[in-house]
A and B are shown apart, each in its own frame.
Chain A
Amino acid sequence: MKKRMVWTLVLALILGLAVGASTGCSKKEVGAPGELSAEEQARLKAEEERRLREQRLREGQGAGSGLTGTEAQMREIFTNQDIHYDYDRYDLRSDAKQILNDKAGYMQSHPEVNVIVEGHCDERGSASYNMALGEKRAKAAAAYLQAMGISSARLETVTYGKEKPLVRGNTEEAFAANRRAHFVIK
């Protein structure tokens, strides 16, 4: 009788260790899978789904596709991608119009999004003329978005002239990067 009890105990210990190893050692999960409550099953499934979604996100990032990204990515691209202008000009270049087409598309699919269009200039020239020029740049971008069907009520224009350069320095590259319209989601 005593021997049997010892064997049972050893068996129970071995079983317990095995079950513990396979289920993560949670007290509630001791036992056969069929004994999991509906609540537990739902939780596990949700966890698996979350893990899978995280996996997809990482794959999406690896692929680097701009247009087929997730919500967060699209928003990031919308706010990070500036359009650029030629020196002392506020008409829209063809590369700027392509980017604005994407921005209009994003705003059409996101009617809740309202936008501040900031006009900026490079550091050369008069601060006052540049402040007026920055407004023309922002207004030109906003007018294009309106022509693409975006309501003017969703667009605010701001000028910062040459007061807030993105890049420091007096190289042509810095000047070109600073002559921009920047888009901020309110």
Chain B
Amino acid sequence: MNRLIAIMCLALMALGLWLPAEAQARVYIDITKPSSRKLPLAMPEFKPMASSQSLGGEGNRILRGDLELTGLFDVLDPKTYLGSGAWAINPREWRRIGAELLVTAEYTQIGNTLGIECKLHDVTDGKLLVGRRYDGLKADLPAMMHRFADEIMEAITGQKSVFSTQIAFVRAEGGKKEVWLMDFDGSHARQLTSRGDLTLFPSWSPDGKLVAYTTYVNRRPTVALHALAGGSGQVILNKPGVNLTPAFRNDGRVAAALSFSGKTNIYLCDQAGNVGQNLTDGWGIDVNPTFSPDGRQMAFVSDRSGNPQIYVRDMASGQMRRITYGHKYCAAPDWSPKGDRIAFMVDIGGVFQVATIRPDGGDQQILTSGHGGGEDPSWSPDGRLIAYSSRSTGRYQIYVMTASGQPLKRLTELSGENSDPAWSPRGVIGTR
């Protein structure tokens, strides 16, 4: 029963609801604290039905990777405790190895076809929390596992996670940069743009159908939109000067930093490239817009104080206020999908770190100082994870950590430099 209460508390917290004091005392996992305890989850080897060929542990491997990426679970390998064939054991037995949750699956794979039945149990009272059956081709196994991982997260936290998302990033090779895509876990990396020059600063549309980026055309950085459905990307902003750092507002309009006036200010434009309202009034550099989820506020970088700092503009009143103080270089802001925090990069003693801060400038937290620095943060659509780039191994690669700074995984294992991740919304076409 305590376990169930713990799960319910977790779900309530994920929904952002206020908890009464006595319930807070019983919380097993505080997902906002790096030291928090993880939920122990047992996952025995998936069981092949009679006449089925073997998946050879592939399903377990994918699902385990997904669950570990959330930073919420401690996935126990029952073989260690109970030997193989452990799926046959009575669920209550799992308490003996410390499990609170149990995932079981049975499958039938014949030739190219695959059917798989997955279940999530609460070990304490043997209750079935989630049961799903997936049928398809054997090649659909990753998609099936990602979907079930989302079901598990919905049952535990009240919302789906990132298992139908992609990450756009910039890959540098041979003096050129192109935008690439990969699945949320770093798998299935593939090239999106082939423009043959410098293409960078990717940003997703709210519906996940477009990626905007900056791309050089005849020595000038322009802004282009690229449909995931196909095509090679269409330049929409090519004004004299620079056309930098496009970012979508929730209404589908695009903000970008343009310098045609002589000052580098941020303008709100439509997707056809018609330049609308000037949103900033800096005398020098205003760049890198990012909107609150409701579109009512915009954070950006400005050097109006003499060095780059993060500012927030209220879209209705036009008022702007500085939110970062005490450091000489703050840049690359990304507004959390929950709306409650802004991630950015900050120079701490000569090393850039990823930090988060409330939009009112309170409660700044440095997240990466324990693990080699970080730059260019991007929130996952559930607001629980942050992807970022780091050169802690010498070359820039992309990593993911929890929103509280607990390191989880290195996502890119590619040659060249891989940086500037942009996490997609949920449900993007092409995620395996």
Contacts and interface: CB of A to CB of B under 8 A. Distances in A.
B331 A128 contact: yes
A125 B200 CA distance: 15
Contacts of A139: 262
Interface stretch (A12-20, A32-40, A130-138): A130-138
A136 B175 contact: no
A125 B373 CA distance: 12
Contact of B376 (A126, A131, A158, A164): A126
Given A88-B329, A135-B241, A135-B264, A129 B219 contact: no
B379 to A, nearest CB: 17
Interface string A103-146: 00000000000001000000011111101110110010000000
Interface in B278-327: 284-285, 287-288, 301, 303, 307-308
B220 interface: yes
Interface in B193-218: 198, 200-201, 214
Contacts of B242: 131-132, 135, 159
B288 A129 contact: yes
B45 interface: no
Nearest to A88: B307
Interface size class of B (residues with CB under 8 A): 35 or more
Contacts of A116: 219
A147 to B, nearest CB: 15
Given A126-B301, A126-B376, A127-B201, A132 B329 contact: no
B259 interface: yes
Interface in A140-186: 156, 158-160, 163-164
Given A135-B259, A136-B284, A128 B201 contact: yes
A128 B329 contact: no
A128 B389 CA distance: 14
A99 B332 CA distance: 34
Contacts of B328: 88
B420 interface: yes
Given A133-B285, A164-B175, A128 B244 contact: yes
Contacts, number: 76
Interface in A70-127: 88, 116, 124-127
A126 B332 contact: yes
B426 interface: no
A116 B220 CA distance: 12
A135 B242 CA distance: 8
A127 B202 CA distance: 12
B287 A129 contact: yes
Given A126-B332, A126-B345, A132 B244 contact: yes
Contacts of B347: 124-125
Contact of A132 (B177, B219, B264, B307): B264
B352 interface: yes
Contacts of B100: none
B257 interface: yes
B284 A126 contact: no
B185 interface: no
Nearest to A159: B242
Contact of B259 (A127, A132, A164): A132
A19 B352 CA distance: 81
Nearest to B333: A126
Interface in B235-274: 241-242, 244-245, 257, 259, 262, 264
A135 B331 CA distance: 17
Contacts of B214: 128, 131
B178 interface: no
B375 interface: yes
Nearest to A131: B244
B78 interface: no
Contacts of A135: 241-242, 259, 264
A160 B220 CA distance: 9
Contacts of B219: 116, 156, 158
B405 interface: no
A146 to B, nearest CB: 13
A158 to B, nearest CB: 5
Given A125-B347, A129-B287, 5 more contacts: A116-B219, A126-B288, A126-B345, A131-B244, A158-B219
20 contacts: A88-B328, A116-B219, A125-B308, A125-B347, A125-B352, A128-B201, A128-B245, A129-B285, A129-B287, A129-B308, A131-B287, A132-B242, A132-B244, A132-B257, A132-B264, A133-B285, A136-B285, A158-B220, A159-B242, A163-B200
A-B pairs, 5 with minimum CB distance:
A126-B331, A132-B285, A158-B219, A126-B332, A128-B245
